Amino acid sequence: MSPLLSVKDLSVTFDVRPQGAWPWTPSLKLQAVSDMSFDLAPGECLGVVGESGSGKSTLARAIVGTVPSAGGHIYFEGNDLANMDPRQRRVHRRDVQMIFQDPLAALNPRMTVGEIIAEPLVTHEPKMSKTERKARVRGLMDRVGLLPNLINRYPHEFSGGQCQRIGIARALILKPKLIICDEPVSALDVSVQAQVVNLLMELQADMGLSMIFIAHDLSVVKHISDRIIVMYLGRQMETASAETLTTRPEHPYSQALISSVPIPDPVLERQRVRPILEGDLPSPLSPPSGCVFRTRCPKVQPSCAAERPVMQELGDGHRVACPYHEPADVLIAS
């Protein structure tokens, strides 16, 4: 089966001007994403995890097209996004939608819920009548767990979980093929998180959606994802199935991330050996040479400073960027 989305050696760079610099001072280059490569199959959910500043949201925005790529290629259904003409890009915008982290900030406070959800239809299907638009909006509101009689209310009249459901409805109104969820549950209570995640899983199964799910909570990512990518400072550290990555990770960074997830069993929790990461995330303006993780890695070797590790294939889609990798028994409760 051909992948729906294929990312090859993608890099994203930003020009950053130092604070207080003279107008003629050259800008600094911030490498937000570097040489990312992966495929996404139709109907698959790909999780993306990593610390804040690892480039997860930038990766999502590059796929959507809101930030330009500095190198590499993004193929959607075999078409290179960089070579699309305006008409093709307009169709692509229909097929790829995004759900944002802050549900209330993502909604226009001056528009009613019905207007917010229907806005993509006004843009992409201008010939649709108002009656048809209203009927589709009401049907989708009911599908995401919102009472259709709330169609004329404003975002400030809803809770955080309800606002996120509005955002989900707006993303689905055009019947896209790919949904990118940029930390969609991080601003919600734990009980509401579970409701939203279960809703996304139901919608994915019913509509045959492909999904990229970005989050910090690895237990949530494991629950919803088929495969998981671990990112650090804009680079891909490890990729594997959700089950493999959360039970037997190979990269030291993956092991540290996963071991930080608590187990709701006091006996098992006391027996765990947790690798502790020393120091803070380096600045992306001046990343370490060689392996970017070497300044915090418990298994660092002298060669790590000179050579940038390449992704090694371990079988069954398991890939790791560390020459000194070794499996570790780690458990995340189901």
Average pLDDT over residues 10-17: 91
CA atoms of 20 and 23, how far apart (whole Å): 9
The confidence score (pLDDT) of residue 281 equals: 83
The confidence score (pLDDT) of residue 270 equals: 74
Q: How many residues are listed for the chain in this entry?
A: 334
CA atoms of 49 and 51, how far apart (whole Å): 7
Q: Say yes or no to pLDDT of 333 above 50.
A: no
Tokens 């480039």 sit on residue? 55
CA atoms of 154 and 107, how far apart (whole Å): 9
The confidence score (pLDDT) of residue 149 equals: 92
Residue 51: both structure tokens together: 């610390």
Q: Say yes or no to pLDDT of 60 above 60.
A: yes
To which H or E segment does residue 185 belong? none
Q: By three-state DSSP, how is residue 268 classified? A: helix
> What's the mean pLDDT when you consider all of the chain?
89
Average pLDDT over residues 89-116: 90
**H-state helical runs in 178-307:** 190-207, 218-224, 242-247, 252-259, 266-271
Percent of the chain, pLDDT > 90? 59
Pairing state of beta strands 79-80 and 235-241? Answer: unpaired
Bin 48: left if φ > 0, else alpha if -120 < ψ < 50, else beta: beta
Q: By three-state DSSP, how is residue 175 classified? A: coil
Residue 223: both structure tokens together: 């629950």
Per residue in 131-142, pLDDT (tens digit) is: 999 999 999 999
The confidence score (pLDDT) of residue 2 equals: 87
Per residue in 292-330, pLDDT (tens digit) is: 999 999 888 999 998 899 999 998 889 999 998 887 765
Q: Say yes or no to pLDDT of 168 above 90.
A: yes
Average pLDDT over residues 271-296: 84
The confidence score (pLDDT) of residue 329 equals: 62
Among 16-25, 29-38, 40-49, 97-106, the range scoring the smallest mean pLDDT is 16-25
Residue 21: both structure tokens together: 């610099």
User: 10 falls in which pLDDT band (50, 70, 90)?
Assistant: very high
CA atoms of 328 and 247, how far apart (whole Å): 8
CA atoms of 199 and 88, how far apart (whole Å): 31
**Residue of 18, 17, 12 lying closest to 31 (CA atoms):** 12
Average pLDDT over residues 110-114: 95
CA atoms of 290 and 304, how far apart (whole Å): 6
Q: Which domains does the chain have, with CATH numbers?
A: 5-18+26-320 (3.40.50.300)
Q: Which long-range contacts (CB under 8 A, 24 or more apart) does 188-193 make?
A: 188/103, 188/160, 188/161, 188/164, 189/160, 189/161, 192/159, 192/160, 192/161, 192/164, 193/217, 193/220
Among 143-147, 148-152, 264-268, the range scoring the smallest mean pLDDT is 264-268
User: 332 falls in which pLDDT band (50, 70, 90)?
Assistant: low
Average pLDDT over residues 215-238: 92
Per-residue CA distances from 67 to 105, 153, 235, 266 (Å) = 20, 33, 17, 45
CA atoms of 176 and 171, how far apart (whole Å): 8
The confidence score (pLDDT) of residue 330 equals: 59
* pTM (2 d.p.): 0.90
The CA-to-CA distance between both ends of the chain, in Å, stands at 29
Higher pLDDT, 325 or 95: 95
Residue 18: both structure tokens together: 């130092």
Which residues are bridge partners to 13 per DSSP? 31
The confidence score (pLDDT) of residue 210 equals: 96
Q: Kindly give, in sequence order, each residue whose CB lies less than 8 Å from that of residue 236, ignoring residues fewer than 6 positions away.
A: 35, 36, 37, 38, 229, 230, 311, 319, 321
Q: What is the DSSP string of 67-121?
A: S--SEEEEEETTEEGGG--HHHHHHHHHHEEEE-S-TTTTS-TTS-HHHHHHHHH
